[in-house]
Amino acid sequence: EEEEERFLPALFGCCTWLNVPREELSPSITVTQPAVMAKLAGFEFWRKTLKEASFVVAPMVDQSELAWRLLSRRHGAQLCYTPMLHAQVFVRDANYRRENLYNEVCEEDRPLITQFCANDPEVFLQAAFLAQDYCDAIDLNLGCPQMIAKRGHYGVFLQDEWELLEKMVSLAHEKLSVPVTCKIRVFKEIEKTVRYAQMLEKAGCQLLTVHGRTKDQKGAFTGIASWEHIKAVRKGVNIPVFANGNIQHLSDVERCIQETGVQGVMSAEGNLHNPALFEGRSPPVWEMAEEYLEVVKQYPPCSLSYIRAHLFKLWHHTLQIHQDLREELAKVKTLEGLADVSAQLKRRCQEEISDGKDGDEKEGGLPFPHWICQPYVRPAPKPPMTNGTHQESQVRKVCQKRTLEDSDKAAEGLSKNKQKKRSRNPNKNFCPELKPKYLKCEQCGNPKGNKCVFNLCRGCCKKKAFKKVADCPSHGLRFKTKAEKRKAEEDKQKQGDWTEGSMMEPEKNNQTPQAAAASCTKLKEQAMA
């Protein structure tokens, strides 16, 4: 009920915009249609709302949270994106909204663009309605190439469904009070990429971010981003364009703007390894790490996993040398523990500097000593062998991650992540054919509880059990039991009151005539007084 009270105003607002009769939802509630404010578009939006931002921090899952955005703004970033948010979860889960957007409202953190992944126009619109008052624009993610995006059917895996994308962008552009932007990846053909961008512009996209890589360029095969594609898109559309890809230093930013003619440049990995990239500085790692931890303490809460990931990125090159502290950083469970490991790394680096190792010996061919913020360059994949198979084991060795204590025959060709899971649970099964198949919930499509009495997932089961006052032992729901317990307590209390009253009656009936007369006289005297 509490959730419905908070969600109904936004829901009725959506109905007003979409011309859906409110009486179908609740005839007793009247909603006044909000005044429609003229929103800025295209270059006017970029100049006035985004203040001609040229240095942009990319949306990064679990990485571009409030503390990191504020740190980046202090060091030259002019515009930031939130991490990619899942539109469907954002609509249905109040805690998800609160933890990922509502709790991160900060005057210093503007201008800000909220990014969603979605594959349904109505769901995308509902999520955008709930977020539009907390940001300056809504971005649709059409560039995520990860496997989770493929399974969920969003990100770059929608780039061939132009009709769907046109409907999503046009509906949001028509109904929202803030502009709609898009972030895309390119096709192999420049002409098709330009037509793709023009389609999004025609649908209502007011700003386009172009990542100059295809959907297959990821991981070890990331390769070089094509600025030629970005340049062609910039010439082919009449809205602001941001470029993304190949940005490691401030000189790359300036060169990209000059060669492509874009309005701004977005950085993701370059920013994670050097938050001062847009200042043109390469400070000592501990300087950025200490400042970031201070911002985290100043603007709580911040997930410990986010903080740990940022410290791993910042200290990446140093942790290749001090492997013991790498293990320590992975194990600590508190913010103070993470800060202590960072301080130990700082002391070791300063000891190396005092010993005269400040740049004479640069490990791994790095341009600077390992304690200086600098980009991480992925090693190129090895060429295929004569039999046509890639040397995967050698490719993995290039990226020097933590070694496993138990590397028994490379764990039958498992990845390092799966080897870690196998070391913790020797009986863990990684064969897809042998994994249990989960049936879907009848209402929302999520995996249902195997023993649920309603054959639903926990969320749907909770709503139905509450409505029907029923129990579901599988999900630990005891609505019926609690109701019966409350009723039994009430009946017991009533029984006690009746028993006490019946015990008082004999006392009244056993009074002597003299006592009764005395009490009657006393009552009369009180009445006269």
- Residues with catalytic annotation? 144
In degrees and rounded to multiples of 5, residue 477 shows phi and psi of -100, 130
Q: Name the token pair of 21.
A: 């009769």
Letter string b/e over residues 152-170, b meaning 16 or more CB atoms within 10 A of that residue's CB? bebbbbbbeeeeebbbbbb
What residue spans of 143-249 are helical by DSSP H?
Answer: 147-152, 162-175, 190-203, 227-236
Q: Are 374 and 284 in contact (CB under 8 A)?
A: no
What DSSP string runs through 255-283?
A: HHHHHH--SEEEESHHHHH-TTGGGT---
Distance CA 444, CA 454 (A): 13
142 sits in which H/E element: strand 137-142
Residues in the chain: 529
- Structure-token match 């709580």, residue found: 300
Q: Are 511 and 505 in contact (CB under 8 A)?
A: no
305 sits in which H/E element: helix 304-314
Kindly tell me the sign of the dihedral angle through the C-alpha atoms of 329, 330, 332, 333. Answer: positive
Q: Name the token pair of 367.
A: 């341009």
Q: What is the DSSP letter of 211?
A: E
SS3 string of 352-390? HHHCCCCCCCCHHHCCCCCCECCCCCCCCCCCCCCCCCC
* Widest pairwise Cα distance in the chain: 122
What DSSP string runs through 168-183?
A: HHHHHHHH-SS-EEEE
Residue type, 295: V
Q: Please tell me whether the peptide bond between 301 and the residue prior to it is cis, using omega within 30 degrees of 0.
A: yes
Q: Name the token pair of 69.
A: 């955005």
Please give the torsion angle defined by the CA atoms of residues 18, 23, 26 and 32, in that order, rounded to the nearest 10 degrees.
60
Q: How far apart are the first and last CA of the chain?
A: 55
Q: What is the DSSP letter of 448?
A: P
